[in-house]
Amino acid sequence: MDPLVLQNRLGHVFKDATLLQQALTHRSHSSLHNERLEFLGDSILNCVVASLLFDRYNKIDEGDLSRLRANLVKQQSLYEIAQRLDLSQFLRLGEGELKSGGFRRPSILADTLEALFGAIFLDAGFDAARDVIRSLYIPILDTVDPKTLGKDAKTLLQEYLQGKKIPLPQYNVVATHGAAHNQEFEIECLVPKLEIQVFGTGGSRRAGEQAAAKLALEAVQAALVKTPASTRKPRARTTQLKLAGIATIQPDAPSEALPLVADAPAVKAEKPASLKAGRADAPKSDAKTESKADSKADVKAEPKADAKVDAKAEHKVDNKDKADPKPTDGKSESKASLAAADRNDIRSEAQVSPAVTQSKTA
C-alpha cells in the first residue's frame, strides 16, 4: 500500500522517506530494522502522555497519574491505535512472519507504532512527534474516566465484585475462529452468584477476556441497581424444631409466637421439682408419685382441733416418762408382755380422757 496514505493518517509527511521505511521494517525482513527507533519512540511517547495527563487532570496525584499513563502506553492500547491506523497493511516482514500472521500480532504492531514516533522525532523534532501523539490520544482521553485510574476492565470488575462481597468472575475460552496465524478468541465471563454470562472476542485471549470483563461489569452494575442489597429479602423457609424428641415443622412467624413452642419443655422440667417440694397445686394425675413422707408432712401441718387427741398425746408422754426409769432387759421381755402393756395403755387413756376434758373446760 502507498506509504502516503499512512502519513496522511498520522498527520505528518516525512522529509526523509528512509526513516519511515526503517520504522516499518521488522527484524525478520532485513538487518536495517526498527528496534532502535522503537526504543527512542517509547521514551517520547511516555513523555508526551505524561504531559497530557498532567495538563488535563490537575487534581490527580502522582500515583494515580502513573497508573493512568501505564494503561495508556501499554501494548494493548498501542495495538488498538495501530488497528485504527490499519498499520498491518504497511509492515515489512520476513517470509516466515508473513506466513505465521505476524502482521496481526499485537506485539509487532505496538512496537512498529513506537518506532514511527521515534522516526517522526528524528525527521521533524519533538514538537512534531508531540502533535502526532496528541492527535492519536486525545480521542482516547475523552473517553477515559479518571475515577478508574487507568485500570483495565478485568481489574475494575474484580475490585467492584470484591467491594460487594461477590465471588470473583470465571473466564473460559468458548471457541477460536480463523486460521492459526489469524485467530479470534471468544471468551466467556461468568458471575455465578448474579447468574450473569457474557461473551467477548479479541485477537488474543487477553483481549477477549478484557472485552468480556467490560460487558460483565456493565451487567453487574445494572443488576445491582435493579435489586440493591438492602432491599433483597430472603425467600420464605420453614424451620424444623426438635423438642423432646418430636420434630414439628412450622412456617417462619413473628417472634411473639415462638415462646408458645419454646415453653413446652420448661413445664415438663418443673413437674419433678414441684412434686419433691410438696406443692399443693400439682396436677391430680401425678398424685401417685407422691412419697409417704410428703403425705405425712401435709397431715402434721394441719391443726388439731380435737381435745381428745391432745389428751391421748399427753398421756402417752406421761407413760413414757414413767417407763423410762425402769431398766428393762430386751432379752427377757417377751412379746406377750409388750402386747399386754399396750392394751393397758389404751384402757387408761380411755379412762383419763373425760377427766382431762372436764378439767380443761373448767
Q: Catalytic residue numbers?
A: 42, 114
Q: Is 361 exposed, middle or buried (0-12, 13-18, 19+ CB in 10 A)?
A: exposed
Residue whose C-alpha cell reads 527512542 in the numeric block: 40
Strand order in the sheet with 170-177: 170-177, 184-191, 196-202
Residue pair 203/184 in contact by the 8 Å Cβ criterion: yes
The C-alpha cell at 74 is 501499554
Q: Is the dihedral of CA 203, 205, 207, 212 positive or negative?
A: positive
What's the distance, CA 73 to chain centroid?
A: 36
Within a 10 A sphere around the Cβ of 104, how many other Cβ atoms? 19
d(CA 324, CA 316): 12
Rama region for 304: left / alpha / beta (φ>0; ψ in -120 to 50; rest): beta
The C-alpha cell at 313 is 398425746
Q: Which residues of 333-358 are buried (b: 16+ CB within 10 A; e: fewer)?
A: eeeeeeeeeeeeeeeebeeebeebee
What contacts 24+ positions apart, CB below 8 Å, involve 11-15?
A: 11/131, 11/132, 11/135, 12/120, 12/123, 12/124, 12/128, 12/131, 12/132, 14/119, 14/120, 14/123, 15/123, 15/124
Helix (H/G/I), strand (E/B), else coil: 59: coil
d(CA 183, CA 203): 6
Residue pair 159/81 in contact by the 8 Å Cβ criterion: no
Residue 261: closest CA among 273, 276, 271, 251: 251
Residue pair 192/170 in contact by the 8 Å Cβ criterion: yes
Instruction: Return all residues near 151 (Cβ < 8 A) that are at least 6 apart.
Output: 67, 71, 159
